[in-house]
């Protein structure tokens, strides 16, 4: 049963690839970077997938911009957070060329706008409506905007995967800063939401899927630091009804070495991203491609 679960999902992904080489969020729709990245990770190493993965990578590379960032879709101008996914994919594919290094440089250059001097001053003067520590440098969805948990987590995974190739002090500094941002924005229940743990003195609850992503970003941190959020992640996985949250939690917990039970037998969804993440999170899936180690100061 377990292998059939995975095979059905990989088969769906194989069948839903667009002619241009990418995947849409749903079959037959425009190709987007995000579902394409997850589909590529899920299919990595699958029998007879090499050519389709090459086509996908070729399409994604055509979306890189001159500043090193990557566009989320062929119709959208300007690079975004998917640049982190591009670096992760490049690492998985063993690509380390000047264009990928330009992407890494872009990630190292981009900082959440709430870290600006003005915002830090406003924070010190208690002028912000949120109890937010703006002293750390994280990553935004788009350059020029504030940092949030999800893009910061994806970027941490990417930078940790390639850190060994660079050995730059700046790289380690930004990784530490990004981790600091994640720790500073934990919700009072121990997990993470999109990045606002408190508004107007009211604590906001964490989200299961974002808690999973933050745990991916924090791989390599000490067991003591992560004991509480990992325990929460285990509990959330049992409680949440969201298939997307379940898939991300399975990936995160497995990357942290947890031996969780097989996923329940469910029909394959028409949602490409969800299906790819479910395949990645399967015990025989490619979740290990998102596994990283920490960096040392």
Partner 1 sequence: MTRRQFIPLAGIAATAGYASLKLQKPPKLPDGPPGNSPVAILRAGSYSEDLVSRMMEGARLCGLDARGKRVLLKPNLVEFSSSTVINTDASVTAAAVELFHRLGAAEVRIGEGPGHRRDTLDLADDAHYRAIVPKFESIFTDLNRDDVSPVRGFANEPEFYFPNTVLGADLIVSLAKMKTHHWAGVTLAMKNFFGLVPGSVYGWPKNKLHYIGIPESVCELNRVFRNTFAIVDGVVGMEGNGPIQGTPRSAGVLVMGRDLVAVDSTCCRIMGIDPEKVNYLGLAAKLGHVHAERIEQRGETVASVRTNFALIDEFSDLRLV
Nearest distance from residue 203's CB to partner 1, in Å?
Answer: 9
Nearest distance from residue 194's CB to partner 1, in Å?
Answer: 5
249 binds partner 1 (CB under 8 A): no
Q: Give 204 or 226: the residue with its C-beta nearer to partner 1.
A: 204
194 binds partner 1 (CB under 8 A): yes
Stretch that binds partner 1, among 42-50, 69-77, 96-104, 255-263 (CB under 8 A): 69-77
Residue 191's contacts (CB-CB under 8 Å, 6 or more residues apart) are: 205, 206, 207, 208, 210, 211, 214, 229, 232, 233, 236
d(CA 166, CA 144): 26
Nearest distance from residue 69's CB to partner 1, in Å?
Answer: 14
Residue 83's contacts (CB-CB under 8 Å, 6 or more residues apart) are: 68, 69, 70, 103, 106, 107
271 binds partner 1 (CB under 8 A): yes
241, 261, 264, 267: which one contacts partner 1 (CB under 8 A)? 241
Question: If 0-12 CB within 10 Å is exposed, 13-18 middle and 19+ buried, where does residue 158 land?
Answer: buried
124 binds partner 1 (CB under 8 A): no
Q: Give 95 or 111: the residue with its C-beta nearer to partner 1.
A: 111
C-alpha dihedral sign at 109, 110, 112, 118? positive
**Residue 32: strand pairing partners:** 23, 73
128 binds partner 1 (CB under 8 A): yes
Counting residues that bind partner 1 (by CB under 8 A) gives 52
23, 32, 63, 192: which one contacts partner 1 (CB under 8 A)? 32
Residues 131-160 within binding reach of partner 1 (CB under 8 A): 132, 134, 140-142, 144-146, 148, 150-151
235 binds partner 1 (CB under 8 A): no
Query: Mind giving me the DSSP string for 177-246?
Result: HHHHHHHHT--TTSS--SS-SEETTEE----HHHHHHHHHHTTTS-HHHHHHHHHHHHHHHHH---HHHH
d(CA 266, CA 131): 41
Is there a contact between 102 and 166 (Cβ–Cβ < 8 Å)? no
7, 190, 242, 258: which one contacts partner 1 (CB under 8 A)? 242
Find where tokens 């002293």 sit.
Answer: 135
Interface with partner 1 (CB under 8 A): 24-26, 29-30, 32, 34, 72-73, 75-77, 80-81, 113-114, 116, 118-119, 121-122, 127-130, 132, 134, 140-142, 144-146, 148, 150-151, 193-194, 196, 199-200, 202, 204, 207, 209, 241-245, 271, 273
């Amino acid at each position: 049963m377990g292998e059939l679960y995975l095979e059905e999902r990989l088969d769906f992904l194989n069948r839903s690839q667009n002619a241009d080489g990418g995947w849409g969020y749903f079959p037959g729709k425009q190709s987007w970077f995000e579902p394409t990245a997850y589909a590529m990770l899920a299919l990595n190493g699958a029998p007879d997938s090499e050519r389709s993965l090459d086509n996908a990578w070729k399409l994604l590379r055509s979306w890189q911009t001159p500043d090193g960032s990557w566009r989320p879709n062929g119709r959208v101008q300007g690079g975004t957070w998917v640049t982190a996914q591009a670096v992760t994919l490049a690492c998985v594919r063993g690509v380390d060329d000047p264009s990928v290094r330009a992407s890494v440089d872009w990630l190292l250059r981009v900082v959440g706008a709430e870290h600006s001097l003005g915002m830090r001053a406003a924070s010190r003067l208690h002028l912000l409506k949120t109890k937010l520590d703006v002293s750390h440098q994280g990553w935004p969805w788009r350059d020029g905007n504030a940092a949030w948990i999800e893009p910061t987590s994806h970027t941490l995974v990417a930078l940790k995967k390639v850190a060994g190739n660079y050995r730059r002090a700046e790289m380690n500094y930004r990784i530490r800063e990004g981790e600091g941002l994640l720790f500073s924005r934990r919700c009072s229940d121990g997990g993470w939401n999109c990045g606002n743990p408190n508004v107007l003195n009211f604590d906001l609850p964490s989200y299961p899927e974002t808690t999973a992503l933050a745990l991916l970003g924090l791989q390599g941190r000490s067991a003591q630091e992560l004991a509480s959020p990992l325990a929460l992640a285990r509990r959330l996985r049992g409680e949440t009804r969201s298939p997307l949250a379940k898939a991300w939690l399975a990936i995160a917990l497995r990357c942290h070495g947890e031996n969780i039970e097989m996923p329940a037998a469910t029909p394959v969804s028409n949602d490409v991203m969800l299906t790819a993440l479910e395949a990645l999170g399967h015990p025989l899936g490619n979740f290990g491609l998102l596994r990283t180690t920490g960096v040392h100061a």
